[in-house]
Amino acid sequence: MTKTLIKCGWLVTMDPELGDMKNTELLFEDGDIIAIGQNLNATADETIDGSGMIVMPGLVNAHIHSWQSQLRAMGSEWMTAQYMKNIHSGLALHYQAEDNYIGNLVEDLAQIDGGATTVMDWSHNIRDLEMAERSIDGHEESGIRCVYGHGTVKPPTRPGDKPFSQIPHPRDRIEALRKGRLSSDDHRVTLAMAILGPDYSSWEIVTRDIALAREFGLISSSHSAKPENSLNPGGYARLAREGLIGPDHNVVHGVYFTDDDVKAVIDCGASITSTCLTEIHHHWPGPVVNRVRKFGGMPSLGIDVVPVVASSMFREMQAALLYLRAQELRDAARENGAQPDEIPVKSREALEWATIGGARALRMEDRIGSLKPGKKADIVMLRATDSNIWPVHNPVFSIVEQAGDGNVDTVIIDGITRKKSGKSTYPEDLRRRKLADLSASSDRIKKSAGY
């Protein structure tokens, strides 16, 4: 049993009772926080001097397609139709198991580098169990906390074949993973199902997939689509009415949802994850964060697709906040003819979306998302003395409004240090080899796809 004491310059716990503190201490033993307070007088095996740092919970990236890191920034000017054609009808079909492994590993290292301690990997190019197993290998090797969302490949329909929308989620793979290496929900890497949902599959498949997830005690997560492209318009409200979704379901995007759709999803306890950078990029209605708030839900945030947007949760959080503020100011001006006297959305809310909101969406709020005794030691330390942050007047303002990936000094996940003094603890010589492997993977995939 190893005890570690952090002497914090500023501590932002995101716990409503503990709040924010200055010049305080945090003690954790192995992977669990055991005490927070000033002058704990604790005996520790290691003491970390964080007197010049802001200590905060690790960010929770509630939606990312980690396997796409080979394709980073390829689609920075793509619209939705180009993304679907180039990725799902093209490049995705040429991935092999090793491509998923290296893509996940490198993306996880990028996420850790940027202060994300948990990701929900929506792994939707999986053709067989080997691809799933190697995808999980990448997450386990990186050291990140991961909810692995097993998804399925979406090839164009060949003559005589069933379209993917009529093919149920593969029970054999879910059973093998759930009864095998991902049998426990207490491990650092856990299992979920990334299902097609009502917009991308027949109603029979939707209900079968949700039933399968519930049979194995798993979260299910699904994408929403434009109403004109949906196979079951209004399908999410119907799922809610029929009691088929609840806190064990997560909806991604929802940008084309009506207010009634949003309310139905929130009222049944399901969560909605916004990927604001992507949604602002090529969806005119914009993120639904404001409407999730309006109907009493807790928004959560994710990166989504690194071929299109940056894989930075600090950027995502800042974009979500600024977009929502602009939305609220425009709405107030339209309704009242004037802007409000106070800022309509506070900075702390955005930090909640990127921590507690993600933890809640993944049903992990009892373990992550805030710092308090009994929760996991998933901790990020920012250098407050960096010139773009200093001086610190309010640590939450500094985190949300000013900080970026480059300010992340230390990342601790489940009590294990994964970044220290600004550098990954993943061996540097091995990291360079993995980057070379990623480049080789990218070249092979593009060549095979004729891209």
Burial class (CB in 10 A: 0-12, 13-18, 19+), 259: exposed
- Inside any domain, residue 426: no
Domain count, the chain: 2
Looking at residue 341, its amino acid is D
Residue 262 shares a structural domain with residue 299: yes
* Contact between 107 and 311 (Cβ < 8 Å): yes
Residue 267 shares a structural domain with residue 340: yes
The pLDDT, as a whole number, for residue 356 is 98
- The distance in angstroms from the start CA to the end CA of the chain is 52
- Inside any domain, residue 222: yes
Q: What is the pLDDT along the chain (451 residues), one digit of tens a residue?
A: 899 999 999 999 999 999 999 999 999 999 999 999 999 999 999 999 999 999 999 999 999 999 999 999 999 999 999 999 999 999 999 999 999 999 999 999 999 999 999 999 999 999 999 999 999 999 999 999 999 999 999 999 888 889 999 999 999 999 999 999 999 999 999 999 999 999 999 999 999 999 999 999 999 999 999 999 999 999 999 999 999 999 999 999 999 999 999 999 999 999 999 999 999 999 999 999 999 999 999 999 999 999 999 999 999 999 999 999 999 999 988 988 888 889 999 999 999 999 999 999 999 999 999 999 999 999 999 999 999 999 999 999 999 999 999 999 999 999 999 999 999 999 999 999 999 999 999 999 999 999 9
- Inside any domain, residue 307: yes
CATH number at residue 34: 2.30.40.10
Question: What is the rounded CA–CA span in Å between residue 260 and residue 254?
Answer: 12
Nearest to 210 by CA among 224, 198, 223: 198
Residue 342 shares a structural domain with residue 387: no
Looking at residue 161, its amino acid is D
- Inside any domain, residue 421: no
Distances (CA, A) of 145 to 202, 408, 418, 445: 33, 17, 11, 28
Using the 8-state DSSP alphabet, how is residue 231 labeled? S
Residue 248 shares a structural domain with residue 125: yes
- DSSP β-bridge partners for residue 147: 120, 190
pTM score of the predicted model: 0.97
Residue partners of 215: CB distance under 8 A and separation at least 6: none
The pLDDT, as a whole number, for residue 158 is 86
- Inside any domain, residue 130: yes
- Inside any domain, residue 157: yes
Residue 267 shares a structural domain with residue 304: yes
CATH number at residue 341: 3.20.20.140
Residue 214 shares a structural domain with residue 334: yes
Degrees (nearest 5) of the Cα angle 433, 66, 80? 125
Degrees (nearest 5) of the Cα angle 241, 247, 253? 80
Residue 287 shares a structural domain with residue 155: yes
- DSSP β-bridge partners for residue 445: none
Residue partners of 139: CB distance under 8 A and separation at least 6: 66, 104, 105, 108, 119, 121, 146, 148, 189
Largest CA distance in the chain: 72
| Domain containing residue 346 | 59-357
The pLDDT, as a whole number, for residue 294 is 95
Distances (CA, A) of 403 to 23, 61, 318: 20, 17, 9
Residue 167 shares a structural domain with residue 227: yes
Residue 51 shares a structural domain with residue 68: no
- Inside any domain, residue 147: yes
- Inside any domain, residue 381: yes
Residue 48 shares a structural domain with residue 175: no
Q: How much helix, strand and coil, in percent to the nearest 5, is found in the chain? A: 40, 20, 40
Question: What is the rounded CA–CA span in Å between residue 12 and residue 35?
Answer: 15
The pLDDT, as a whole number, for residue 368 is 98
For 89-172, where are the E strands, in sequence order? 116-123, 145-150
Residue 33 shares a structural domain with residue 69: no
Residue 98 shares a structural domain with residue 119: yes
